[in-house]
Amino acid sequence: MPSNFYEKWEKEVGGLKGALRPTPSLKDKLNSAVRCIELQLNKINEHIERYDRREKELSEKIVSAYERHDEARAKILANELAEIRRHKGLLINSKMALDKTALRLRTIYEIGNFMSATSLARKIVGEVREKIAGFVPEINSELTQVEKVLDEVVNEVSGTTHENLTLDSESVEADRILEEAAMVAKNRTNGAFPKPPK
């Protein structure tokens, strides 16, 4: 376990380097990235809602154009509606990808907090052990064992995290869930309004 993980995770860069070029802690950087993604998700949601309203409006205009037997106008509106649906589908897929990324980053954030707390606990146990080892030897061996356990826990978590949370590897189940969600979203989009004429 990196003994200075607590400092890297929790504290800003100090000293001369920190004074010349302030650098936030890893925790703050990651939190800032998650907040930025969430802000973009809100903007995407606003665009999707706008497309929903425009989609309904165009669908009504297409029906109205057909009722007036204005097929040329209906065709123009249908092309615009098809374009809006295409853009909306792209936004929905982007939203799902960003949602997934934000979820993973939140998980990494929680793991970082765990690693930081464990790193700090191990550091404190080590400092206490060194201070009292000379005059209470039986405590020295017990605290050494605690340090080993904390090292094992963090090494196990880092190994699991490396295997399961790499952003470029996808689980089969997650892919299946995303495909199902995309199909449901597409069916809702296509089923809510009449199909444009060809």
Cβ contact 47:37 at 8 Å: no
Cβ contact 92:178 at 8 Å: no
Helix (H) or strand (E) holding 46: helix 26-67
Type of residue found at 185: A
Cβ contact 15:9 at 8 Å: no
59 pLDDT higher than 60: yes
Query: Could you tell me if residue 134 is inside a domain?
Result: no
The pTM is what?
A: 0.64
Query: Could you tell me if residue 13 is inside a domain?
Result: yes
Length reported for the chain? 198
Query: Could you tell me if residue 125 is inside a domain?
Result: no
Average pLDDT in the chain: 81
Q: Which domain holds residue 108?
A: 5-119+170-192
Counting the structural domains of the chain, the total is: 1
- The span from the CA of 68 to the CA of 75, in Å, is 13
Q: How remote is the C-alpha of 22 from its chain's centroid?
A: 26
pLDDT tens digits along 146-183: 988 888 887 787 766 555 544 444 556 656 665 666 66
Query: Could you tell me if residue 157 is inside a domain?
Result: no
Query: Could you tell me if residue 65 is inside a domain?
Result: yes
Query: Could you tell me if residue 128 is inside a domain?
Result: no
- The span from the CA of 141 to the CA of 139, in Å, is 6
Task: Give, in order, the Cα–Cα distances in Å from 84 to each of 94, 109, 188.
Answer: 15, 37, 15
pLDDT tens digits along 22-34: 788 888 989 999 9
- The span from the CA of 195 to the CA of 52, in Å, is 15
Asked which of 73-77, 85-89, 154-158 is least confident by mean pLDDT, the reply is: 154-158
Query: Could you tell me if residue 150 is inside a domain?
Result: no
Q: Which long-range contacts (CB under 8 A, 24 or more apart) does 17-21 make?
A: none
Query: Could you tell me if residue 47 is inside a domain?
Result: yes
